[in-house]
Structure 1
Amino acid sequence: MGFDNDSNSTSTSQCDANSTINNGLVVLNVYDLTPINNYLYWFGFGIFHSGIEVHGKEYGFGAHDFPASGVFEVEPRNCPGFIYRRSITLGQTNMTPSEFRTFIENMASEYHGDTYHLITKNCNHFTDDVSYRLIGKQIPGWVNRLAKLGALCSCLLPESLQVTSVKQLPEYHECSEDEFIESLSPATPRESTEIDDEQEKHLLSSSTGTEDVTFVKETRVK
């Protein structure tokens, strides 16, 4: 009986350890922005959205009109408005859930919705930054290849692509080619104004138009 109890204790400890390891995994969830990716993917191209999954939640970066957090939280592999493609395990973090929450709230202060830019600061730049800070590893290059090419050849890109920010990221939906091109029209210049507590509460709770997405409240330095 003593041997059995020791065996059970060992098994329980191993299960707890495995659970802790699994919870610390850093996973990149990749989504298609358009069904055209089914063809572009095999040539090493595509228009992708990505989110970083840690401790059972997925975090992404999207645009809105306010100088406040553009980092949002969703259920893993279920970001509204995108077509889930695949998950890639990047590594593992030793951060506890509470430590990671503090980390992601600090990052939210660096990724405001009104700073989103298709070429220089998009959702894939965000996941790449999170991954590098957590585990010292960048996301696969193909996920954000079009933006990297755009940055290298910005002088050749239409002005609309160089200055556009994508509004209300979680509200992407299937659309025609004409509608997609129209969505890339130059954004109206915006002034970065302060956001009060009531505006922020409304933004964090309902700006995406879906209960499945919640913006992360940023840590503010006083």
Structure 2
Amino acid sequence: MICGVIKRKKKTGSHPVYLNVYDITPMNGYAYWFGLGIYHSGVQVHGVEYAFGAHEYTTTGIFEVEPKRCPGFMFRKSILIGRTDLGPREVRTFMEKLSEEYAGNTYNLITKNCNHFCNDACLGLAGKSIPHWVNRLARLAEL
């Protein structure tokens, strides 16, 4: 009799990384079901949500809010993207490094919006991209 070795999946991290998705317009209630919509998103880890927004200055456009409560938007859903081993301080350091690429005056609805930021943050924290539907309209507009 040959004993098989059971391989266990490698644990990918201790702390969950969520993408919080918000409706920008009430039209999303209908458009969502057709795979369309205009969404704002933020990345939640360690009880803090990080997002990116526009302003006219060369300082960072990354900001922190209470999870699922970003002002000006209607919360739609939270999606578990993956897990990270980074602790709260390491996540903050990672966000500070990412902020060098995301100044408020570089925001662009088509090429560098909150969803682009969230994708970069999720790749760096959990090694996974955000779902394609979240930023679909920006990608379609690039065509």
**One-letter amino acid matched to 2:35:** G
Cα distance between partner residues in 2 of 1:54 and 1:96 = 9
The aligned residue for residue 37 of structure 2 is: 46
Bigger helix fraction: 1
**TM-superposed deviation, 1:30:** 0.2
1:123 partner amino acid: C
Q: Which residue of 2 aligns with 1:110?
A: 101
> CA-to-partner distance for each residue in 1:19-48, whole Å, 9 max, x for gaps?
x93xx1100000000110000000000000
> 2: CA distance between counterparts of 1:108 and 1:45?
28
Runs of 5+ consecutive residues of structure 2 not aligned to the other structure: 1-12
Q: Secondary structure at the match of 2:105?
A: helix
> Does the alignment pair 1:151 with 2:136?
no
Moved beyond 2 Å, runs of 4+: none
> How far 1:143 sits from its partner (Å)?
0.3
Structure showing greater relative contact order (alpha-carbon pairs closer than 8 Å, 6 or more residues apart): 2
Q: Verify: 1:130 aligned to 2:121, yes or no.
A: yes
- Aligned-residue offset at 1:137: 0.7
Structure 2 CA distance, aligned partners of 1:87 and 1:135? 15
Q: CA deviation at 1:133?
A: 1.5
Given the alignment, which residue of 21, 25, 48 partners 2:16?
25
Aligned length: 131
Question: Percentage identity across aligned positions?
Answer: 59
Q: Over the residues paired in the alignment, what is the CA RMSD in angstroms? A: 1.0
**1:87 aligned to 2:87?**
no
Per-residue deviation, 1:67: 0.6
More strand by share: 2
1:1-222 maps to which residues of 2 (within 5 A)? 21=14, 24-152=15-143
2:30 match: secondary structure: helix
Distance 2:50 2:92 in 1: 11
Letter in 2 for 1:59: Y
In structure 2, distance between residues paired with 1:133 and 1:57: 16
Output the CA distance in 2 between the equivalents of 1:135 and 1:75: 21
User: Any gaps of 5 or more consecutive residues in structure 1?
Assistant: 1-19, 153-222
- TM-score, normalising length from structure 2? 0.89
**Residues of 2 paired with 1:120 and 1:82: CA distance?**
21
